[in-house]
Amino acid sequence: MRTVITGEAVRLELPPASVAVRGTSLLIDLVIYVLIYIGIQLLFGYYSGQIFQTMDPAMYAAFSLSTVVLCFVILPITIETLSRGRSVGRLIMGVRIVRDDGGTVRLRHALIRGLIGFPENFLSFGVLPLFCGMINARGKRLGDMAAGTYGILVRQPKVKPMMLPVPQHLTSWTQIADLGRIPDRLALRISRLLRRMETTGRGDNLGVLHRTADQLADQLRPHISPPPPPSSSMDFLIAVMAERRNREYRRLRRQQERTGELSRRLHTLPYS
């Protein structure tokens, strides 16, 4: 997961697409462009009859080159510009091309990527972008480096919410505890630990999970006031995260009720 801070100081979590995912999307697009190229050749051959047989070799070469440029340069640039970084292959694989700051790509980005992408992707048979993607932390190819873009995953698996209850002996403490100063990264690590405890917390892994819980509990205690009563590190982490979830749920419920009340007042005559 990569954190991007936009020009409006908004922190975005944009996971870069792997080389395998981008390679698969590129292969799908390549098959589509080749089929379009073959279709154009067959279409003109069908309607022109004997024209290709009597055509000057230079004219035929110019026509073939124009068809290649149309299918493998102009068409990808146009699709990427109009779809804001998507294509058929990327749509299937759940990938979008964005700027390094997380913004939407424009014509100039697609133009740079398309002009460099033709020799990079097609003339090198995919070897050059594969090599560049393997040595780059975000899987960038040469076109991405020149245009200042990279591919992100927009299709994320659904995460099942954790419904762990607050331990009974810590219920009264959570009602008065100040839990609003926990760093986001620490809260994310605790959530991952508890989720792993729910799914794989058995056997030999149990000792490792409890040792990790002790470390996270030591990092969490300075951010909690007042200190919790004596309990295990795992119960302490569960109590904090469950209470944070409950408070967030109550806050959203109050906000929803206020919004509903305001909507009813606005739609009631005489709007008073």
Taking only Cα atoms into account, the Rg of the chain, rounded to an integer number of angstroms, comes to 28
Q: Residue 166: what pLDDT?
A: 85
Q: Where are the domains of the chain?
A: 2-153, 168-266
Write down the pLDDT at residue 16. Answer: 84
What number is the average pLDDT over the span 56-70? 82
69 or 8: whose pLDDT is higher? 69
Neighbours of 241 (CB within 10 A): 21
User: Please, which residues have CB within 8 angstroms of residue 144's CB and are 6 or more apart in sequence?
Assistant: 97, 113, 150, 151
Tell me if the pTM is above 0.95. no
Collapsing DSSP to helix, strand or coil, 35 comes out as helix
SS3 178: strand
CB 97 within 8 Å of CB 151: yes
Q: Which residue has the higher pLDDT, 236 or 180?
A: 236
Half-sphere exposure of 124 toward its Cβ, with a 13 Å CA cutoff? 15
Cβ pair 23, 101 in contact under 8 A: no
47 has a pLDDT exceeding 70:
no
Rounded Cα gap, residues 88 and 36, in angstroms: 13
Per-residue confidence (pLDDT) for residue 137, from 0 to 100: 80
Give the pLDDT confidence of 189-204 residue by residue, as tens digits.
888 888 887 776 555 5
Question: CB pairs under 8 A, 24+ apart, for 66-74?
Answer: 67/37, 67/40, 67/41, 68/37, 70/40, 71/33, 71/34, 71/36, 71/37, 71/40, 72/33, 72/37, 72/118, 72/122, 73/114, 73/115, 73/118, 74/114
Give me the torsion for CA of 157, 158, 159, 165, rounded to 10°. Answer: -170
Q: How big is the CA angle at 138 (ends 132 and 143), to the nearest 5 degrees?
A: 50
Q: What integer is the mean pLDDT of 231-240? A: 88
Residue 149 CA to residue 104 CA, distance in Å, equals 9
Tell me, what amino acid is at 24?
Answer: T
Question: Which pLDDT does position 42 carry in this prediction?
Answer: 81
User: What one-character DSSP code corresponds to residue 56?
Assistant: -
Percent of the chain whose pLDDT exceeds 70:
84
